Each structure stands twice: as C-alpha cells, then as structure tokens.
C-alpha cells in the first residue's frame, strides 16, 4: 500500500475532508440539541414551549394591556418574529463561549476549528425548524391564507443563517482573547431586539417619520423580519409592504445585504486568523 506523503499544515478553521467537516458539525449540533433539555420532564417540548410562553407574555403586555398594534394579524406576526429573532439570539449566545467551552477537545484533538461555532448555530437552526412548524400551524389555525410566497421563507432563513454565522465566527474567535465580549454582546443584542421590528412593528416608525423607514431597514435583522412579514402574512401597506417598496428601490437592498456579506467575511477572516493558535491561547 503506497500512501502519499502530505504536509501536515497544523490547525486551521477549515481543514481535512469536507465530508468530515460536515459530519462533525452535524453530529455535534444534533448531540447538543439532544442534550439541551437533558433531565427535564418535557424534553423536546421545551423547544416549542419557550417561544410560546414568551409570546404569551409579550402579547399580554402589548396587545392586551397597552392596546398597541391591535391589528388582526399581530399575534401571528409577533410569534413569527420571536421565533426568528430567538434563533439569532440563541445561536450567537451559544456560539460566543463555544470554543472556550470545548477547550478539552480543542487542546487534544485535530479537527477543523470552525466546526465548533458552526455547530452551535446549527443547533439553534434545528430549534428554529421545529419552531417554524409551530408558527405555520398557528398561522393556519389563526386564519392566515397560505400563499405561494411562503415557499420563499427558506431563502430568508438562509440569509439569517449566514448573518448569524458571521456574527458567531467573529465573536467566538474574539471571546478566546477578550472575555468581555459576552456582556458587551448581551447589551448589543438587547439593543438590536428593540431596534428591530420584533414587537414594535415598522408601522410605528413609519407613522411618525415615513422617511426613516429606509434607514430603519439598514439593520439586516429588520430587513429579514420585514420581508418575512410581507411574504408570510402581507397586510395593508405601508406596514405590510416588502422591503424594496419601503426603502424606495431595490438598490437600497445593497446596504443590509452588504452588511450581511461584510460581517460574514469579517467573521470568517478573524476566525481563520485565530484558529491556528486557539489551542495555545485557551
């Protein structure tokens, strides 16, 4: 048996066979998913219960007590937004300490380092999948008419996944050196929560200052949530309009699109730069 002599290049973000990369990522993600509700009585049901309970709280406060957004489709929209934003929050929150948490494996084993944050994001994506099924059921039972644009939802989820992965790579690499990333990101993601149309919808923004809509949608999360609203539920303009309409032209999509691509590339670059030394820095 003649085997070819190949150079050992040392640890990197991405190395070895792509098959192993995918297998490892998927296996770690599904294992984490299995373990996340380990020891609880309801088990996987919590995956579904959590956003529903959160939804209950928000709905009670905003629709019932404050009489905000008493549009017919507000509860459906609220639930969908919570689920989508929840994915972003859960994924980044789990990814940031992921490399440090898996220290034992990182220091003792050779494998592509990028698997770690990617698995954390994938675990959250599995949750998202189940949650979206619940959202669909909730929508149908609420009387939202199915439409063809529902088929476009996976595209938005993919865009959200790419953006989230970018943030996850960037922050998990930085966290190894600077532990203050975690509290800082806690504050930023809280700010993002209020700066995105999760429960305060774009209608509020447009009511006061119609020209602000464009800038409001520079935030990639806002773009994704607003477009999801348009494709999934629709509704009367301007609140139910698609992103290009509110922004005043497709060309403006370049801004949130550019941010998403930029964050992803930056994250990939930073992670790739840190990956070779991560076993020593820990």
Using CB under 8 A as the criterion, which residues of the chain lie in contact with other proteins when the complex forms?
2-11, 15-17, 19-20, 23-24, 27-28, 31, 34-35, 38, 104-105, 107-111, 177-180, 276-277, 279-280
Q: How far is the CB of 9 from other proteins (least distance, A)?
A: 7
CB nearer to other proteins: give 6 or 67. 6
Give which of 224, 251, 250 is closest to 164, Cα–Cα: 224
CB nearer to other proteins: give 7 or 148. 7
CA 193 to each of CA 84, 98, 277: distance values in angstroms, whole numbers, following the listed order: 11, 22, 34
Q: How far is the CB of 165 from other proteins (least distance, A)?
A: 21
CB nearer to other proteins: give 112 or 267. 112
CB nearer to other proteins: give 34 or 147. 34
To which residue do tokens 């008419």 refer? 145
Q: How far is the CB of 50 from other proteins (least distance, A)?
A: 21
Q: How far is the CB of 27 from other proteins (least distance, A)?
A: 5
CB nearer to other proteins: give 31 or 190. 31
CA 125 to each of CA 84, 246, 248: distance values in angstroms, whole numbers, following the listed order: 10, 29, 32
Q: How far is the CB of 25 from other proteins (least distance, A)?
A: 10
User: Which three-class secondary structure string do you get for 179-232?
Assistant: CCHHHHHHHHHHHHHHHCCCCCCHHHHHHHCHHHHHHHCCCHHHHHHHHHHHHH
Q: How far is the CB of 180 from other proteins (least distance, A)?
A: 5
CB nearer to other proteins: give 242 or 272. 272
Give which of 149, 139, 155, 151 is closest to 231, Cα–Cα: 149
User: SS3 for 242?
Assistant: coil
Q: How many CB atoms lie within 10 A of CB 59?
A: 18
- Measure the CA–CA gap between 279 and 99, rounded to whole angstroms: 10
């Amino acid at each position: 048996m003649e085997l070819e002599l190949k150079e050992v290049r040392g640890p990197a973000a991405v190395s070895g066979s792509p098959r192993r990369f995918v297998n490892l990522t998927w296996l770690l993600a599904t294992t984490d998913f299995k373990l996340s509700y380990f020891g609880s009585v309801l088990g996987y049901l919590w995956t579904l219960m959590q956003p529903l309970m959160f939804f209950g709280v928000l709905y009670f406060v905003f629709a019932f007590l404050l009489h905000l957004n008493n549009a017919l489709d507000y509860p459906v929209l609220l639930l969908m937004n919570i689920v989508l934003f929840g994915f972003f929050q859960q994924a980044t929150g789990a990814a940031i300490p992921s490399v440090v948490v898996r220290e034992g494996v990182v220091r003792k084993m050779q494998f592509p380092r990028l698997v770690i944050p990617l698995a954390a994001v994938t675990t959250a994506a599995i949750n998202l999948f189940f949650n979206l099924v619940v959202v669909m059921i909730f929508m149908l039972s609420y009387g939202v008419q199915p439409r063809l644009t529902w088929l476009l939802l996976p595209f938005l989820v993919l865009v959200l996944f790419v953006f989230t992965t970018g943030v996850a790579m960037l922050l998990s690499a930085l966290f190894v050196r600077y532990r203050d990333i975690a509290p800082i990101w806690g504050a930023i993601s809280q700010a993002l929560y209020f700066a995105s149309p999760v429960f305060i919808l774009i209608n509020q923004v447009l009511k006061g200052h119609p020209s602000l809509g464009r800038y409001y949608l520079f935030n990639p999360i806002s773009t994704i949530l607003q477009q999801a609203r348009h494709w999934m539920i629709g509704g009367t303009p301007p609140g139910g309009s698609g992103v290009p309409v509110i922004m005043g032209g497709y060309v403006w999509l370049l801004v949130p699109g550019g941010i998403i691509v930029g964050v992803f590339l930056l994250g990939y670059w930073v992670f790739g730069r840190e990956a070779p030394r991560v076993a020593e820095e820990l």
